[in-house]
Amino acid sequence: MFFDFVKNFFVNSKKESIEKNLFSLPVVETVFFSEEELAKILKEHSIWLKSSGSFGTRASFNGMIIPSLNFFMADLKKADFEGSDLSKSQFQWADLSGADFTGANLQDVDFFQSNLKKVSFRNANLTGANLMSVEASEADFGNANLSKADLRSARCNNALFFRTDLKDAKLDSGEFNGVDFSSTLNFTNKLSR
């Protein structure tokens, strides 16, 4: 009888602990922006950039689920996209230099001809991303998944590819001066000039 009491006590305590933790988890919802809301965010970010942070507001999409957004030709230098889900979004010809995409889901995102200089893609999922003709010098792709990504004609001079998954990535005709591929995963040398 004593053992039944102890057993029931621990079972109920564990159940209450699990239920308590479930209710304390943050709720993550998909966010939808109207064109007007995005225009306002971009305007405030532009003011923030021009004033060196004294005025305006830095664009932050940190942790948001916002798939399929259109940032065509946007000026999002130093913007915060850390941990966000931007799958299938459009960033063609955008200036994203110095932006933070650490841990972001960028699956099938189109970065064609964008400025990605000094961008952090650490731990990001870039599976199937279009990185053709991007300027990604000094970008950090550490622990990122670039499988099936298209980096043809990309300029990735002095970029970091520490433990980056390059399975089936297209790298031909890209510039990779000063890049060490020795720690990458699934790397097959397809660097042709």
| End-to-end Cα distance, the chain | 79
Nearest Cα neighbor of 186 from 152, 146, 142 is 146
Instruction: Quickly tell me which residue has 């305006």 as its tokens.
Output: 56
pLDDT mean across residues, the chain: 87
Tokens of 116: 């990605």
Task: Please count the other Cβ atoms lying within 10 Å of the Cβ belonging to residue 27.
Answer: 4
pLDDT at residue number 169: 96
pTM for the predicted model, two decimal places = 0.82
104-154 pLDDT per residue, tens: 999 999 999 999 999 999 999 999 999 999 999 999 999 999 999 999 999
Neighbour-count burial for 119-150, b at 16+ CB within 10 Å, e otherwise: bbbbbbbbbbbbbbbbbbbbbbbbbbbbbbbb
> What integer pLDDT is reported at residue 124 of this predicted model?
98
Between residues 125 and 189, the one the model is more confident about: 125
Decide: 82 and 101 in contact? Cβ < 8 Å.
yes
What's the fold here for domain 31-193?
Pectate Lyase C-like (2.160.20)
